Amino acid sequence: MNPINEKSKIWRLENYSGVYLFKADIKNFVYNKHTHDEYAFGIIEKGGHRFFYKGSYTTAYPDSVVTVNPDVVHDGRASGDQACKYRMIYINPKIITEFLNEYFLVNERLLFFRNPINYDKHLYAGLKKALYNLEYFPHLMSSEDSLATILQNIFSRYSEKSIECKQSRNQNIASQSIQYIKDNAKENINLESISNAVGLSRFHFLRVFKDTVGISPHKFVVQHRLKIAKDMLNNGVNLSIAAIESGFSDQSHFTRLFKQAYGVTPGQYKIITV
């Protein structure tokens, strides 16, 4: 990011494994399409944040609360000429499971967010206060209490039960190909090998995958390799080893893709995991 116009910071919440805080002030930086393993909650403080979500583009403006489900493809950039300032918190689904079991007596897999953007001035004010308190006063019990209250309000107001339904043929094909990619991500896989694994021609498979998953197979492979590398960095693995072991042959290429997906370099991310 340009040090003059672009600023970002990510850090792990002390005493919490699986909770990360992120803040950014961006104008020209563009995030590539990617996914997160975690639930993401955030606020837009200035400007607009335009992003792809479930097949179309939408824009979040100041005073809005952003809610993103795990594994949903999205990207991001500032909308218009004004810089966008925003804050996010990423929470491991296991923590959300514990929270929902305690407050709602349900499993997190039964709940999802209807919309990625919600305009609720009381919720916005509460989440903003919680995020600032978690940054500057992380050891105070009141900071954790305020976050729990906000999460309870977010889920009770804006989430709904998912409906279990029989997978269509295309969804089955996508699921099979995703599993193949996960099993072979470190290898030199290509469109032909994946399409052969699910019994389709390359172009037929390409269309089915993009229509069902929302991104191309190549982009999915890259994002999964980035997740592998991210997990390795969380476990203290050296940057160069993490790049090679996750399937990237060039560390500079790995660094560029990591930053385009997560807003920070692998080196910056590794620092917060130490």
CA atoms within a 13 Å half-sphere pointing along the CA-CB vector of 76: 27
Nearest to 127 by CA among 112, 111, 103, 148: 148
Give the mean pLDDT of 251-264.
91
Question: How far is the C-alpha of 209 from the C-alpha of 188, rounded, in Å?
Answer: 19
Yes or no: say if 185 and 191 are a contact pair by the CB < 8 Å rule.
no
Q: What are 23-78's pLDDT values in tens digits?
A: 999 999 999 999 898 999 999 999 999 999 988 899 999 999 999 999 888 999 99
Top CATH class of 169-273 equals mainly alpha
Which strand (E) or helix (H) includes residue 12? strand 7-12
Question: How far is the C-alpha of 64 from the C-alpha of 121, rounded, in Å?
Answer: 8
Question: How far is the C-alpha of 46 from the C-alpha of 84, rounded, in Å?
Answer: 5
Query: Tell me: domain 7-161, CATH 2.60.120.10, correct?
Result: yes
Q: What angle, rounded to 10 degrees, do the helices at 202-213 and 169-184 form?
A: 100
Question: What pLDDT does 206 receive?
Answer: 86
| Class of residue 39 by CB neighbours under 10 A (exposed 0-12, middle 13-18, buried 19+) | buried
Residue 108, pLDDT > 60, answer no
The pair of three-digit structure tokens given for residue 55, joined into one six-digit string? 């097949």
Which strand (E) or helix (H) includes residue 51? strand 49-53
Whether the model pTM is above 0.85: no
Q: What are 204-254's pLDDT values in tens digits?
A: 888 888 888 888 888 899 999 999 999 999 888 999 999 999 988 888 989
Q: What are 179-204's pLDDT values in tens digits?
A: 999 999 888 888 889 989 999 887 78
DSSP helix/strand/coil, 82: coil
Question: What pLDDT does 77 receive?
Answer: 95
The pair of three-digit structure tokens given for residue 33, joined into one six-digit string? 């399409």
Q: Where are the domains of the chain?
A: 7-161, 169-273
Partners of 78 in the beta sheet?
49
Helices (H), the chain: 93-103, 121-136, 141-158, 169-184, 191-198, 202-213, 217-234, 239-245, 251-262, 266-273
